[in-house]
Amino acid sequence: MKKQSITSRLKEKTQNTHNRTKRPSLIKRNNTSLLSYKIQEALTIPKETSKVSISQQVGSSSLSNTLNNSSSFKLNGSLNRSKASLKDFQVKRQHSLNSFSEDMDAVFNSLPLPLKPHQALKRFHAGISSYEQGEILDYQEIYFLGFKAKKNKTEPSKVNFGFDDERSDYKLVAGDHIAYRYEVQKMLGKGSFGQVVRCYDHKNKECIAMKIIRNQKRFQRQGKVEIKVLRHILKHDPDESSNCVHIQKCFMFRNHICLVFELLSVNLYELLKSSKFKGFSLSLVRRFAVQLLETLSFLERNHIIHCDLKPENVLLRSPNKSRITVIDFGSSCFETDRVYTYIQSRFYRAPEIMLGIPYTCSIDIWSLGCCVAELHSGRPLFAGENEKEQLACIIEIKGSPPASLLKAATRKKLFFDEEDNYLEVVNTKGRRRIPNSRSLEEKLGSSDPKLLDFLRRCLEWDPSTRIKPQEALMHPWITEC
């Protein structure tokens, strides 16, 4: 009996040992932590559950919910503490990076500039991105590196390494460099061509305006024409008497054409806006008109068509002074090399453009007439909702165009029937423009006979009879001052 007892005990002991070896480890079970294992173990429902009473099941469920809530609380608390710690770490890391950037910036600015690319790489390797470490070697002089900027992350898989947005505009970052010389400060404007940004030139120690053209072939093609026109102006206007903007520099940066200009003041549209569109006095409008005519006279002599003269493209050279500069030659061309057939902003568009007639420098005189009227009245003279209503606005004041003009029009069918009768247009407000139903005097809000005659000469239907810039400078309304 004793032998059996000992044998059975040994057997039992062996069995228990075998069971213990089968039990999962509390330290690690299939990469599950101790806490996770305990929760799983507590929530495991034994097979016998189906045989117990309903009351026992309810009790078991309550226990399970309690354990579950307790475990969730512990896990959530742990997760929140982790999030807080991560946020703390990120703040401290950003602070360290800022301090590091400021230190590098201070060291960089203490050195005699410009640096050579290899010098910049050797001393400031940690503050230069991997893309810039290759790019910088293409530049002879380094004036600025933009350590403090949150630079764009380069992605080789994306178009232009991720430097462009969905419109192919360059992604501007305040405080970053352009061409290791210019510091991006503030966006000044955006158009179909691209962007204009205010930058600080670390070489010449001055603020400039930079035009950055979109990274698309058609805009780059027009950009090259603009540079050609601007260089011609620079060469033939050494004393800046033409009132045309002068280009200082142009270059390619990350597949974008960049043009550098002097930084000017507000444009005439913004000036009108600041006066709540009440318009300017005739004496001030005349001073603007004289300068614009000098510009158009210079352009005509050089066979250049601006193609987009409007208040937004006429800037004051300095605040509180009436001297102006004409900007934005992005649509410009030489008379002998016209690039586009459809040009000019709608309110200032000459009728020959809408009708599809070959154009000359006379389209700029039409735009000038529209600008003069708007600067005095405060409102656009012809403000159509679309192209058809734009021509309707002109016909409302001037009547139908002469038959000789319509005969040369390739787009006549859009506006007139086969017998040259004007096709009536109704705008979104239900308004119909009746030919010759309003006077220029009424629309302008002025009865000055000399001004009215000047505008009528600028707004002739026929481009060949429209007043020329040099002739306009001798008009009684201009010479009155």
Give whole-number Cα distances, 51 to 47, 223, 347, in Å.
8, 85, 88
Structure tokens at 203: 């070489």
First to last CA, the chain: 139
Q: Are 395 and 433 in contact (CB under 8 A)?
A: yes
Question: What secondary structure letter does DSSP report for 465?
Answer: T
> What is the spatial distance between Cα 250 and Cα 403, in angstroms, rounded to a whole number?
47
Q: How far apart are CA 43 and CA 40, in angstroms?
A: 5
d(CA 252, CA 259): 9
- Can you tell me whether residue 431 is helix, strand or coil? coil
| Angle, helix 449-458 to helix 362-377, in steps of 10 degrees | 150
DSSP 350-411: -HHHHHT----THHHHHHHHHHHHHHHHSS-SS--SSHHHHHHHHHHHH-SPPHHHHHT-SS
Q: Which amino acid is at 414?
A: L
Token output for 116: 């050579």
Residue pair 95/88 in contact (Cβ under 8 Å)? The answer is no
- Is residue 308 among the annotated active site residues? yes
Q: Which of 105, 164, 169, 308 is catalytic?
A: 308
Q: How many CB atoms lie within 10 A of CB 163?
A: 21
- If we measure between CA atoms, which residue out of 39, 45, 48 comes closest to residue 61? 45
Which tokens sit at 333?
């061309």
Its sign, for the CA torsion 211, 215, 216, 220, is: positive
259 within 8 A of 226, measured Cβ to Cβ: yes
Token readout for 152 is: 């764009």
Note whether 359 and 353 are within 8 A (CB): yes
Distance CA 171, CA 75 (A): 42
Catalytically active residues are 308
